[in-house]
Amino acid sequence: MKYFEEFNYDVEPEEINRMILEIRNTNPPHPDNETKMLLFSLMDLTSLSEKDNAENIGRMCEQVNLLTESYPELQAPAAICVYPELVHIVRARLNNPLVNIASVGAGFPASQTFLEVKLREVDLAIEAGADEIDTVLTVGKFQLGLYEEVFEEIQLTKEHLGKLHLKVILETASLQDLTEVRKASLLAMDAGADFIKTSTGKASGGASPDAFAVMCLAIKDFYAKTGKKVGIKPAGGISSSDDAYLYLIILKAILGNDWINPEKFRIGASRLANQIIREVYQKDQSFYYFN
């Protein structure tokens, strides 16, 4: 661990809440249509259901292919995110080269399996065509203070990915407090994460503005020390344009415009896509499979 132990980990929740309130009060209360379209372009369009199969994932890909034909001014989402076994379906059916293929992996969503199994699953997802891998920080080991083990696991995973994006999910709702959120953020970044992500969407809680703000501040501090710009992804429970907009304005206030692009900011969602299409174009959301 090169930088992790050099940081202060303490977080004052009251300060974070005051910051978020000030950000809310100094921005419009709702996004306009241009901002909604920007949010759409930052989405990792996600389907992680036990019911997923070649048919419904293939249909989702076909609908992404048709987006630019249906709405020429709407940019496609940043990525489609699926389970590893379905990556080959996306690779075969997705025709838009601007949309990345993301896969969860390494024992998602609990990260409770052998390291060898995790790494092999990551390798198989890459072989199937994944451009990005979303993995979960081993929360149990982290909370025991086994930081070296957690660090090495993330580091090894990144070595298997090479230049491909590694997103490390902190599962912030399972962490004890915001101080742990900051500590987990710094550990994951020091180990090589290209993105840090709030949640799997499978735990008891998803993204929250306070945890997201703490993660943004950790990224700012890490960048100041190392010169590396790490991305961030809120996910879990983001189903409306207002939800996504709040994360956007927090990001902008803390990290600035350099982070407002798919290389540094993603939003993990599924229902949000239909919500934005309906609001911007006054179309029935059932037109698309996204759900």
Hey, which residues are catalytic here? 134, 197, 233
- What is the token pair recorded at 26? 């100094």
CA dihedral 105, 111, 114, 116 (to 10 degrees): 30
The C-alpha atoms of residue 10 and residue 64 are separated, in whole angstroms, by 43
Of 139, 125, 37, 143, which Cα lies nearest the Cα of 87? 125
The C-alpha atoms of residue 96 and residue 37 are separated, in whole angstroms, by 18
The C-alpha atoms of residue 67 and residue 74 are separated, in whole angstroms, by 7
Residues sharing a CB contact under 8 Å with residue 105, sequence separation 6 or more, in sequence order: 84, 118, 121, 122, 125, 130, 133, 134, 135
Peptide bond into 109 cis (omega under 30): yes
Q: What φ, ψ does residue 168 adopt, rounded to 5°?
A: -105, 120
Q: Are residues 172 and 209 in contact, defined by beta-carbon separation less than 8 angstroms?
A: no
The C-alpha atoms of residue 8 and residue 28 are separated, in whole angstroms, by 33
Of 106, 108, 111, which Cα lies nearest the Cα of 123? 106
Q: Are residues 187 and 147 in contact, defined by beta-carbon separation less than 8 angstroms?
A: yes
Of 65, 12, 123, which Cα lies nearest the Cα of 289? 65
